[in-house]
Amino acid sequence: MSAAGEGDHAYNPYTRSCPSRRLLRELGELWSVLVFGALYDGPLRFTEIARRVDGISTKMLTQTLRTLERDGLVSREYYTESPPRVTYALTELGRDLADVMDALEKWAVGHMDEVLAAREAYDAEHAG
């Protein structure tokens, strides 16, 4: 079929050198997922995100936000005030992805008990 307008790229993350692999690695990163979740309900300032994502360093938050901004997933708004104010928000593209991220997060939270139980069972069986 190779529909028209789709371009002839066949991105395939199962291949070493395909850029989609790097993107997938990037999106799956914990900090990315949590930042998406933090911005899910609306724009936030740098410090507000940091407060919600407990334990993230300014370095990692900056790095994560820059990467997401460069990928067109997050937008940055700078207000020249005193002190300066900067807000981050999901772009249209980012909101689209946010639903997937949210699903992943919800899955982890929602099935934590089952996973924990599975681990116990596994450890018990592989002890003797």
Q: Closer CB to its own copies, residue 72 or residue 85? A: 72
Using CB distances below 5 to 8 A depending on partner kind, what does residue 98 bind out of DNA, its own copies, none?
Answer: none
Task: Classify 98 in phi/psi space as left (phi over 0), alpha (psi -120 to 50) or beta.
Answer: alpha
Using CB distances below 5 to 8 A depending on partner kind, what does residue 75 bind out of its own copies, DNA, none?
Answer: none
- Residues 6 or more apart whose CB falls under 8 angstroms from that of 64 comprise 29, 31, 32, 35, 56
Out of 13, 23, 24, 76, which residue is the one contacting DNA (CB under 7 A)? 76
Structure tokens at 32: 């990315």
Out of 6, 7, 8, 78, which residue is the one contacting DNA (CB under 7 A)? 78
Phi (first) and psi of residue 76, to 5 degrees = -120, 130
Other beta carbons within 10 Å of 33 = 20
Task: Work out whether 35 is an interface residue with DNA (CB under 7 A).
Answer: no
Interaction site with DNA (CB under 7 A): 29-31, 45-48, 55-60, 62-63, 65-66, 76, 78, 83-87
